[in-house]
Amino acid sequence: MRRIWAAMAAIVLTGVGWGAASTAAGAAPAATARVTACPTGWGSGDKGGDATGSVPLENIRTGRHDCFDRMVFDVPGGGRSIGYRVGYVSRLHQSASGRYIPVGGGAVLDVRVGAPSYDPATGAPTYPGRVGHTLPGVHLAGYRTFRDARFAGSFEGETQIGLGVRARLPFRVIQSSGHLVIDVAHNWTGSR
């Protein structure tokens, strides 16, 4: 919009006729970047359902999108009924011991997924997270919203993650077959 007004002001100041001004103004919007409509209405309140399970977590991965940053929990065999609880906390405390786990960012999401990081039948690890450490294979450099991700442990069929974000922003939780997805918006307005 600023370009349009600047172009019109330059045209008026140079004495070019209104026919040329309307052509310049009409051409400017075609040259601007595309506008992406981002989803809105997610809110920042707690979200969840039953949070314990017997199908193990195998991987955690992240991705960047135009409107949000995404974290995906891979729970093959979990179907569409993977339990979860996700909510903002002032500080992350491990559910089993109460141990404080520092997580970077302006706000922290306490993410609890109803899938252990070990095979319940054998006790063998299925996800190589270490309590208090960053998530294996998750690199958040260049993300607009995500700042830090810490493994908080796995206890009684539930895996806990601390997700540090830039600020308290709206988020949603989606389930698909074998996956639990958390999207955290880049802002509250729904703009890119």
Do 24 and 54 fall within a single domain? Answer: no
Do 91 and 12 fall within a single domain? Answer: no
Higher per-residue confidence, 13 vs 157: 157
Do 17 and 67 fall within a single domain? Answer: no
pLDDT of residue 49: 79
Do 26 and 83 fall within a single domain? Answer: no
Q: Is residue 86 part of a domain?
A: yes
Range of the domain at 90: 47-185
Do 73 and 128 fall within a single domain? Answer: yes
Do 100 and 174 fall within a single domain? Answer: yes
How many other C-beta atoms are found inside a 10 Å radius of the C-beta of residue 42?
18
Q: Is residue 36 part of a domain?
A: no
- The 171-176 sheet, strands edge to edge: 59-64, 68-74, 179-185, 171-176
Tell me: the pLDDT tens digits for 154-171?
A: 998 999 999 999 999 999
